[in-house]
Chains A and B, each alone.
Chain A
Amino acid sequence: MHTFCQIGLVAAVTGVGAGVSWVLNPYEPPGSVVCDPTRIAADQICAADVPEGALWIDARSREEWQANGVEGSILWNFDAGEDAMEMEANAAMALMDAQMAVVYCGSEACGTSRQVAEKVNDLGLGKEVKVLFGGWEALKDSSLVR
């Protein structure tokens, strides 16, 4: 009995540890982006919640945008070789007909999308702008990308 108690104690402690670990770090299959709308920042949006009629803005490099950007998206980044005025003007024109704007870059770790989102807000055109949670990683398996 004493042995069974010890086994039970080890199992219980292990179970508690596993449970805490699961809560703190829920399992995510490698390469997937799990987006919980209740746990993302106020300026972010999950890919599944982006409405029809949103303007997608790609903040990655031109090469990446041309290779696999969202169909119908425009490019807006801060790369030295790009025409900043042209990208800004393209965005303003595209926003005229858009319900809102969603900016994405390579991954959740990339901060460029937030900076582009600020530029969109600074245009003062009155359109809502969000940053895509997970970046392009959240889109790569969807039908939205080229």
Chain B
Amino acid sequence: MLFFIALFLVSRGYGGALQFASTTQRVDAASDTKFVESAFAFKNVSDQTVHIKNADAGCTCMGVGFEDKKLTYAPGEGGVLNARFKVGSYQGKVTKPIHIWMEGDAENRPSYVVNLEVFVPVMIDVNPKSVRWDLGDKRTQTIVVTMDYKKPIHVKKVKTTNEAFGTELVTVEKGRKYEIRVTPKVVDTPGLTVIQIETDADVARQRVQQAFGVMRSPK
């Protein structure tokens, strides 16, 4: 009976032939970084030669590949999975899983998952991202813009896409903190405005920020 149970377990592949030095790699990116690269070292700790079918991050933002394009590993042999992440407009903490299929794995059942964690600094914080009113409400609401960067970032201009909302820019601390006071001018019609905040940040993709104002119908 024990023989059959053991045979069953082996046939299910419960073995974990590949052992990764770390299944999570953490990388700090600079604000203007375009690409982040990392590597996952592994070793075949089984007593059989293993064949890797594929590795994929499931998004166009990440390219992955095995060093020397090697997919077959003898017992005790080590290898490296390389990953190259395109930062794009990602900000904050980004976790990207990379799935690895062995020969024989079903399409929806990769044998391994490793993770690349990338930290992209958020230079400009806009809080809250949206201010909302119900019809009839004409209060002024405030959006706070806070800079977190090695040098000052100034708000140069604030504009709205909808004339039903007015804005006033207040400097709390030049280069560090600003307030945008938003007041609806029309309170009997639902609508949305995009509040565009232009700064002099030297990182192009973070130079323009936006927030939203919404006059909504009652539910």
Contact = CB atoms under 8 A, between A and B. Distances in A.
Given A111-B58, A122-B129, A92 B194 contact: yes
B109 to A, nearest CB: 8
Interface in B151-186: 161
A53 interface: no
Contacts of A115: 90, 94
Contacts of A61: 60
A123 B59 contact: no
Contacts of B129: 122-124
Contact of A92 (B8, B95, B192): B192
A106 B108 CA distance: 12
Interface residues of A, number: 39
B96 A82 contact: no
Contact of B205 (A84, A106, A112, A123): A84
Contacts of A13: 1, 4-5, 8
6 contacts: A79-B88, A82-B88, A96-B214, A107-B58, A110-B57, A123-B212
Interface of B: 1, 4-5, 8, 12, 34, 56-61, 86-90, 94-97, 99, 106-110, 128-130, 132, 161, 190, 192, 194, 196, 205, 208, 210, 212, 214, 216
Interface of A: 9-10, 13-14, 17, 20-21, 25, 28, 30-31, 33, 60-61, 78-80, 82, 84-85, 88-89, 92-93, 96, 105-112, 115, 122-126
